[in-house]
Homo-oligomer: A and B are copies of this chain.
Amino acid sequence: MLKPLPKARSSDLLRARLREHGLKLTHQRELIAELFLSQDHITVEELYHEVAKNDPSIGIITVYRTLKLLCQWDLAQERHFGKGKTIYDNVAWKSHHDHLICTKCGRIIEFSNFQIEKFQEQVAGEHEFRITFHKLELYGMCKTCDTHVGKRPPRAHGHTA
């Protein structure tokens, strides 16, 4: 489920940030951060379950707190699709991007488009507004779900990846 991505580097990143802020490196933080930084996006609940596989003694409270720290350091970003749970985006090695969200299977595709951002700036200019960040979410159906409409629902295909 979780990709074996930059392992050494993710713990380096964590250590560096902790040191910068005079915070302590605990094994809880180490585990939570490593698991978080080796995937794309995840909810607190999901991450908590992953963490529990390795160390069931860690509470979900600590997962909340650690994710909040990662957000402060721009290693994570909160997302609120619809009104449900918060999704935390791993942005440690990624630049800004927007999302396509399949309303049927929950699949999330990341993209970025220069033209769109250009016109956003234009709109902002027309309203004498200075943009600091933006969110663009395109909801609809991915190809797999779309071709299965009315038929038997497709088998799960990458809900979280």
Where the two chains meet, the residues of A that have a C-beta atom closer than 8 Å to any C-beta of B are 78, 80, 82-83, 86, 100, 102-103, 109, 111, 113, 115-116, 119-120, 122-124, 126-143, 146
Contact = CB atoms under 8 A, between A and B. Distances in A.
B140 A130 contact: yes
A103 B103 CA distance: 28
Contacts of A86: 83
Nearest to A143: B128
Contacts of A143: 128-129
B127 A134 contact: no
A76 to B, nearest CB: 14
Contact of A132 (B80, B103, B131): B103
A122 B116 CA distance: 10
Nearest to A107: B129
Contacts of A126: 111
B120 A119 contact: no
